[in-house]
Each structure stands twice: as structure tokens, then as C-alpha cells.
Chains A and B, each alone.
Chain A
Amino acid sequence: MEAARALGWPAGTVAARLARARTLLKKRLERRGVTLATALAAAAVADQAPAALMQTTIKAATLFAVGGAAAAGVLPASALVLTKGVLRAMFITRLKIATVVLLTLCTLAAGAGMAGWRARPAIPPDPDPQPGIQAARADEPPAEDLKQRVERLQRENERLNRELHDLRDKVTRLEHKVAPAREGGETVVYEGKPTAYWRRQLKDRSPKYRAAAVEALGAIAPVDRSVVPALVKALSDPGYAVSGTAVSALLALGEDGQHLVFYALRSGSPATRLHVVNALDHERLPPRLPVRVQIPALVRALADKDADVRAAAARALAGIRPIMPAVEVPALTGALNDPVVGVRLNAVQALQRFGSPEATPALLEALRNDNVEVRLAAVTALYSLPMMRPSVYTALVLATQDKSPGVREMARSTVLTHTVRASTPLARPTVARLAIIGLLKHDKNPAVRVAAARLVGSFPLTSETALALHQAAQDDSDPQVRKAAEEAYKHLTSQPKTDEGADTPAQRAPMRGGFGGGRAGRGGRRLGGPGSG
């Protein structure tokens, strides 16, 4: 209601326009990544204008209106400079508007003149004898009048043209006057050379000089944003050093610059995208660039149409040292199925770099990948994990049965290494034991089975360990394995028994082919498995 009164509009109109404005504003703000609520909240935070400031402003403004320059001595100089600047800018804007208006008028006038001139031959040279028609034309101006009107319009047109010309001159003069104050007067200098020099250097044929120019413009950009478009253009420069420097310079500009880089990454040409991704590679980045800027950009590039871009992004991601945020895992997992092998391999490596538990499921997933190289990379990645978890053991034991000998070998050594690495036998997790038992039972390589048998021998005595060794000692195809199992079994049974509920291994011995012991996650009591019936 208040608003309606203040504007002199009906309340309904105000409400409707307010609603429409809200929608418009919401849409446009969201396009810029701000929600209306946030923006309005930010607007509401601003505190009250200080009362003293209001008082001085009222007094000073009145003085200013009355005395203008005469009051200058009394008024605050900084505010006055600002006022004059704004007034001048408004004057120039008005001149420009006036120019446009005049141009329009001239065109209209010229058009009218032409129309009038064209209309002339349509009127018969001598008066029409018929009185009816004569009467009908009575209110039209006679030919002589029209002629005069055209002449008048033409004179007017000329005058307006002259005026327009003068005004244009005036605008140019004023702009010249303003320009030095805006740029020339306080030229930004980098290494003693003005911006204009560096802009010229940007056109040099040698990438070296272009890169230097980009670096200079990058240093100037925080002060003078007008060079930013040149930096954006340099993103597509064929020279890697040039585009790389441009990316660094833009990213150093804060959020604005980052948006520009991301935009290029989304919508640039394939070459530009590749350049940007390469530039985002860790080594070449400005030191203070947060990983939270770099990683999302690279992850986005993982989904690029262009295989080179994807591969470069995966490579860059694989090289990132700091721990990545967990949100990026799905994107990398997705990249595990990329048609390009390089992308897949680097994705695995990137996942490995994670070092955080979130990456492990993705790596285990990679163990089941169709591609041998990916599986191999995944096993390698798991090898360097600092701590083994039961699920990892299980997956690795399964991987020891992989089609590819390389993967099998790596999986075996990973399982063994990690078991040995665990500090004391008691600290070794039960599941690790089960995994080793699995190796002992199912591995095709006798050497592995021997190693596994020895390891099992060092485990605490339980029905499972004892049974597994007993079986191996009896049934293994390889004499060496049988021997090792035998020794391990003796060693084991000389220890005090820890698995309180289980029967003695001898009683269980007939249950051949009882398979389940090796599987991780099985409880000791369900040892018999399918053969126990």
C-alpha cells in the first residue's frame, strides 16, 4: 500500500509488477549463481545510514545546490570529486542519447522529405477540372505548399545534420578529455612498459614473447580489468606456454577469472579445452590456487567429448598430491569405463592418490574392470594402500584367480606383503588369515601355496587354520606344498588352542572339499560348507 501510494499506482498494479519483478530477478540472479533469498538477505544486512552523515549530507547538498563551486571550500573534497565525476558521466550519457535522438530525427526527416518529393509528381500539374475531386482535395496542401514544405524539411535536415556533426565533435572532444584521466593519466605499468605495449606484444610471432605479454597482462589485470578479454583470448593461443600463463593469470583473478576459465573449459574449441586442462596440471598453477578450484574443473573435463582432453584431465588428476574431496570419486569411477585406456589408467591412479577410504570401493570396482591394464593398475593402487581392510583382502584374493597372469601375480604379492607387514600375528585381522587360507587352497602357483602354508603356520591355532593345513598336507598336488603344510601344521598344533568352540582338526579331516574356509567373512563355526552334510 505504501509503495502504491509512493508511486501513485493502483495497489493491484504494484503487486502484479512486484511479483513479475521477483520472478525476473530470481531467474537472473540464479543465472549468476545467487539465490534471491541470499541476495535479499545480504541486502538486508546493510546497517542504517549514520544519522550524523545524513545531517551533514542535507546541509552540504543544499549548499552545493545553491553555491555550486563557491561552496567547494566547505564541502568534503573526496565526495565532491566523486560528484563531479558522476555528473560528467551523466552529461556524456545525455549527449550520447541526444546524438541517437538526433540521428533518428534526421532519418525521419530525410524519410519525410523523400516521401514528400516522391509524392509531388503524383499531383497533376494543372488543376483538375472536375469540381468534385477539386473539393475532395481542398484540405490537401497545393503543390506549391508541398514544394515549400519539402524545402523547409530539407533545410531542417541540413541544420540537424550540422548540429549532429557538432555534437559528435563535442562528444569526441569530451571523450578525449576524459580518456586520459581514465587511462593515460594513471597508466598501469609493468616492468616499465604500459598496458598498450603488452597488448602489442601479444601479437608477436614468438610464443616466448606472447607468454611474457600474457604474464604482464596477468599482473595488470587485478588493477585494470579491461585487459581480461585479452587474457581470455590468449587461452586459445597455440603456444602451450602462452595459454598456460593465461590460465594461471585468470585463475589468480579470483572467482571472476575462474568462471572464465571454466567457461572456456566448457565451451571452448577442443584445442582450447586441451590447453586449459594441461594448464590446470599441478606444476604450472599459481601457488595459491586452491585445490577446490582445480579438481572440479578437471573432473568436469573427464567427461569431455574429446579423448585427448579426457586423457589430459585424468593425467592431471593422477598427479594431484593433496587429498581429494570425496565428492569427486563418482566421476573418477565413471572414468574407469572410458573407452580410452589412458583415461582409465589415470583414473585408477587418481583414485590411488586419494589415500582416503572413499577411494577404496572404486578401486575394488576397478579390479573387476574388463580391461587388463585397468585391473592391473587397480591392484597396484591397492598394493600401496597403507592399511588393508577385510573387503580389500577378499577382493584381492579373488583377483589372484584373474585371467591375466600379471594381475594374479600382483594380487598375490599384495596379499602376502600386507599380511607380512602387519606387526604381530595377533594384530593380523581374521579376514587376512582367511585370505591367506584361500591362497593356500586355491592358488595355482605352488610357490604361493608354500608361502601361504608357512604364513598360516604362524597364525594362532583355530579350527580353520588347522583344517586348512591338514588338508593341504594331505591333498595338495605338489610335494613341496604338502611338506610345508605338514611342518606348519606341526608348528601350529604345538601352540595352545584359541578357537574354543571348534572340534579338533582330526575329527574334521574327512570333510574333503570343504571349500568355505578360504572365503572371507565366513564364521569359524560354519566351517564345513557344502561338503559337511
Chain B
Amino acid sequence: MAARSMVAVLHYLRRLAGPPAGETTTDRQLLEQFARSHDEAAFAELVQRHAGLVWSVCRRTLTQAEDAEDAFQATFFVLARKAGRLRWETNVAAWLHAVALRTALKARTANARRQARERHVGEMRRPEANQAPAACEVKPVLDEEVQRLPWKYRAPVLLHYFEGKT
């Protein structure tokens, strides 16, 4: 226990002292740190870094803000759960984008299904629900196409266009 908190303190100090080589700790380091010590600060840093990306994917895929919030949280829950169980790249933007898209799509199908149960299908001949999916179907096109790119292309695209890195 003592050793663990010691590690946390050391990490904290190291972050305070500023990164040695130019910028910051990599995503991988943050995740390792979080997996080791459940360090909230490390996770907070990860959320800060990639919130924009994840949020934009959720927002594009889901029309309702509440649904987008659920998907946003779920994406980071998955990251938290997987932190110690995967071998991470230096940067997790690509992974997060994939998970966020998958989560958001899952939320959308779940929504559609729920709506279907709530309104009995038998009665509605031409459901007016048509328009909502059609309208938001256009937006995830970019996300889907980005997903189809090979990783080595996907990562720079995500950092450049989605996270605004130069």
C-alpha cells in the first residue's frame, strides 16, 4: 500500500516537474499509471485530451444530448475497464474513436428498438420516425469512413482534424 502511494506521489511530482522531453506523458504512460494506481489525475488528463473527439462522435451519431452523454460516459468507462488489459499505442485517439463510434451506434440501435416497442409497429404504416434516422444518418458517414482507414492513416487524421493538433 505504502509502495503504491509512493508511486503515485512520484508520478505526481514528475508531472509537476514538467515533462522531460518537450511535452507530456504519452497516453500509454497515463493508462499504465491509471491501471497501476487508479490515479484519477491520470485519467482526468486522458479525458481532457480526448473529450472533444469522443464527444463529437457521440454528438454526430446521436440526436438526443442525453444519449450522447451516455455514450460519452460509456466510452470512457470502457477505457477505464480496459486500461490494464490491453497493450496500448502511444496515443489512444484511434482506439477511442472506434469505441465511441461503436458505443454510439449501439445506443442508437437500442433507442430505435425501444421506440419500436413503445409504439406498436402494427399500427404505423408509414412511421414518421423515418426522418430522424435519415437526417442523422448523414453525419456518421465521416466517422465510418475514418474507421475504415488503416490505423497508420487513421491516427494522424484523428489528431489533426478531430483534436486540432498541428
Contacts and interface: CB of A to CB of B under 8 A. Distances in A.
Contact of B122 (A60, A79, A89, A192): A192
B69 A53 contact: yes
Nearest to B114: A186
Interface string B142-165: 100110110011111101111001
11 contacts: A3-B156, A24-B153, A29-B142, A42-B138, A42-B142, A58-B47, A82-B110, A219-B124, A222-B130, A223-B127, A252-B126
A28 B55 contact: no
Contact of A191 (B23, B40, B76, B122): B122
A8 B26 contact: yes
A59 B90 CA distance: 24
B115 to A, nearest CB: 8
Interface residues of B, number: 81
B69 A7 contact: no
Interface residues of A, number: 72
A57 B40 contact: no
Contacts of B82: 90
A7 B52 CA distance: 18
A54 B50 CA distance: 10
A253 B103 contact: no
Contact of B156 (A21, A29, A79): A21
Contacts of B43: 58, 61-62, 65
A28 B121 contact: no
Interface string A169-201: 000000000000000001011111000000000
A64 interface: yes
Interface string B75-96: 1111111110000011101000
A407 B157 CA distance: 66
Contacts of A220: 121
Interface in B5-49: 22-23, 26-27, 34, 38, 40, 43-44, 47-48
Interface stretch (A32-40, A354-362, A395-403): A32-40
* Secondary structure dominating the interface of B: helix
Nearest to A65: B80
Contacts, number: 218
B141 A7 contact: no
Interface stretch (A43-51, A454-462, A513-521): A43-51
Given A2-B166, A57-B47, A65-B38, A18 B56 contact: no
Contacts of B83: 65
Contact of A14 (B73, B116, B125, B156): B156
Given A25-B146, A287-B126, 8 more contacts: A20-B153, A25-B157, A47-B55, A58-B43, A62-B80, A66-B38, A219-B127, A252-B130
A255 B51 contact: no
A447 interface: no
Q: Across the A-B interface, give the 5 residue pairs with the lowest CB-CB distance, nearest first.
A: A254-B134, A49-B55, A21-B153, A46-B56, A61-B80
Interface in A230-286: 252-256, 286
B38 A62 contact: yes
A47 B23 contact: no
A344 to B, nearest CB: 36
A72 to B, nearest CB: 11
A433 to B, nearest CB: 55
Contacts of A21: 149, 153-154, 156-157
A83 interface: yes
A188 B80 contact: no
A256 B134 contact: yes
Contacts of A286: 126
A526 interface: no
B142 A3 contact: no
Nearest to B104: A82
Contacts of B55: 46-49, 53
Nearest to B116: A223
Contacts of B162: 43
B125 A219 contact: yes
B131 to A, nearest CB: 7
A76 interface: yes
A5 to B, nearest CB: 5
Nearest to B73: A79
A422 interface: no
B166 A61 contact: no
A40 B142 CA distance: 8
A54 B52 CA distance: 10
Contact of A3 (B77, B99, B148, B166): B166
Contacts of B52: 48-49
A190 B76 CA distance: 38
A362 to B, nearest CB: 34
B40 A3 contact: no
A188 B115 CA distance: 11
B90 A288 contact: no
B40 A189 contact: no
B121 A189 contact: yes
Contacts of B26: 6, 8
Contacts of B99: 86
A1 B138 CA distance: 32
Interface string B41-71: 0011001100110111001100000000111
Contacts of B106: 82, 85-86, 89
A224 interface: yes
B26 to A, nearest CB: 7
Contact of A29 (B72, B112, B145): B145
A256 B82 CA distance: 36
A5 B23 contact: yes
A87 interface: yes
A278 B115 CA distance: 34
A256 B145 CA distance: 17
B4 to A, nearest CB: 13
A101 interface: no
A383 to B, nearest CB: 39
A76 B162 CA distance: 27
A48 B90 CA distance: 24
Contacts of A14: 156
Contact of B116 (A188, A252, A255): A188
A2 B164 CA distance: 9
Given A82-B107, A89-B106, A256-B137, A57 B121 contact: no
